[in-house]
Chain A
């Protein structure tokens, strides 16, 4: 069982002092949630859990612990973020012990909530079933129908560059076509695309949860916070909201691993990943590059080759 092995490995790493702390997942305080935990003593390792609600990309915490040797529990997407961050020299690769867990694809908690009437008291997983104890008794849901769309389309469930692995490798065949939301967006006529973008960004409250949840958003000063130069105002005008969302997405070009942490963090349910999926798709088509897969390949926008494709220059 993954959870048991995870705890054993964590104990071992901490007892042998191979790491200062382990960042992993613990039991959440609500059904359908797991919560990040920071384990420093072998005795605490039993707080670690593994289930289909371990949705956060824990790589975002590495910035807080840049002076420590850190063991970090990673899914496929999270591992790629760590590799991408190492390429950007955020830390030395030997500072991080990647505890890779091949991912079973994560469950979309909001979708489960919407499917069950009343409040959910408890949730457990049994193979391909999710058993939800609700106000009107148990509801059995088919797991496959409640996965995050990005998880369904994922082709990198096995963590790359892992230091050690917990659990058996999984097949990399996706359940849907890649970048499903970008594809759906592309099919709309331009006016509908604009209307969709406007409607989504119009709900933004500028809490920046999307930015903070993303491991790749680590600028000491984000462009939205700069007062000199002042790139953007601070109110809720549609121009400013749209500007923020375009630039946030664009800054991820060649750096996003499709983990979906931004969208899951949003309290207003704003769709965000269709934009980054589109960028990922372009980068892959133009440069045959996928973020964080090859530990030696710099992102296309960080490097230059004389034979770079330039079909887009018209």
Chain B
């Protein structure tokens, strides 16, 4: 669904948030310190960080929090009382996510809302949330969304799509629900000139995102590499921290633990990372992924072989976070090239 593009002046952005906040909970990037932002629940008056490049933690956190209580339990007399924790009280609107992060949400849909099972925690949040995507005018040199089936102005998955024109936003309603958010008087019809400016920005941004990475055919190539010497050297510089997996918009592994003190507690699910030895350690003491070799292989195989086998898509959206924040400059782009050339 595409309608005539609208315009929202930046001075009307906060009033727009105020209108939204009447019926919605709002989520947007918030700056914690200079250069570090995360998605948080916000009040319209809060300062939100839309100018920064992608926040460290991706928007997946709104749907799949790093740490989420699944239920609470308490001993009452001779019985245990169990209470549900998952209540989404109001519809939600997420503002500020880039195309890469939104594309990743659709990949998570395949996992959490797939054929085999439905994750109610993810489902409830997903169903009650509208996504206001923001065009990425300025992809970084570490970005390669154009190689992974997306693009800096990819609109798929967004209900509303904002393009920053400087003094104002060009606003496109992409779904019926998105259109409902633009009924306010703050939105006006965009002029020809503004539409042309947006399309110019789109062209420039497309040129910036690296479209050259050879991900085509990577699944088949990896089929042959499971027991290859390829992995012997690849993992050497990886120190085995969780930066790349925790900051990855598509990584979704978790660990469920019970936290209890005396007679009450909660069942919590926390993000987990395949790069940690503990992740695959079995109760017997045996670890099927005993070294960095097997763990690095798992990270790469899951993204570029297992996920495509299950869902016909690679589990990488080219956001570049794993490249920017890796303490040792382990670069997934180089890995993709190396696989191709091996």
Q: Which residues of A contact B (CB under 8 A)?
A: 28-30, 33-38, 56, 60-61, 64, 110, 113-114, 119, 121, 203, 205-209, 211-213, 225, 233-237, 261, 264-265, 267-269
Contact = CB atoms under 8 A, between A and B. Distances in A.
A244 to B, nearest CB: 13
A208 B241 CA distance: 6
B284 interface: no
Nearest to A40: B233
Nearest to B34: A114
B280 to A, nearest CB: 13
Contacts of B66: 205, 236
Given A212-B239, A233-B257, A233-B259, A265 B327 contact: yes
Interface residues of B, number: 42
B324 to A, nearest CB: 8
Interface of B: 32-36, 56-57, 66-67, 138, 140-142, 233, 236-237, 239-243, 246-247, 255, 257, 259, 268, 270, 273, 276, 278, 292, 323-325, 327-331, 333-334
A205 to B, nearest CB: 5
B144 to A, nearest CB: 12
A205 B246 contact: yes
Given A211-B241, A235-B259, A269-B36, A38 B323 contact: no
Contacts of A267: 56, 243, 247, 325
8 contacts: A29-B334, A30-B141, A38-B236, A110-B35, A207-B246, A233-B259, A236-B67, A265-B241
Contacts of B328: 35-36, 56, 213
A252 B214 CA distance: 44
A192 to B, nearest CB: 16
A264 B239 CA distance: 14
B243 A207 contact: yes
B88 to A, nearest CB: 20
Given A203-B32, A234-B268, A235-B270, A30 B142 contact: yes
B36 A203 contact: yes
4 closest A-B pairs by beta carbon, nearest first, are A265-B327, A207-B242, A209-B241, A35-B329
Contact of B327 (A29, A203, A233, A264): A264
Nearest to A211: B241
A28 B34 contact: no
Nearest to A202: B32
Contact of B239 (A121, A203, A205, A213): A213
Given A119-B141, A235-B67, A209 B35 contact: no
Contacts of B34: 114
B246 A30 contact: no
Contacts of B323: 29-30
A33 B141 CA distance: 14
B141 A121 contact: yes
Nearest to A264: B327
Contacts of B233: 38
B174 to A, nearest CB: 29
A225 B334 CA distance: 31
A40 B246 CA distance: 32
A33 B329 contact: yes
B237 A29 contact: no
Nearest to A214: B239
Given A119-B140, A209-B242, A212-B239, A29 B331 contact: yes
B141 A213 contact: no
B335 to A, nearest CB: 11
Contact of A30 (B236, B242, B329): B329
Interface centre among B236, B276, B334 (most CB of A within 10 A): B236
A61 B323 CA distance: 20
Contacts of A203: 32-33, 36
A261 B242 CA distance: 16
A229 B278 CA distance: 15
Given A30-B329, A110-B35, A206 B268 contact: no
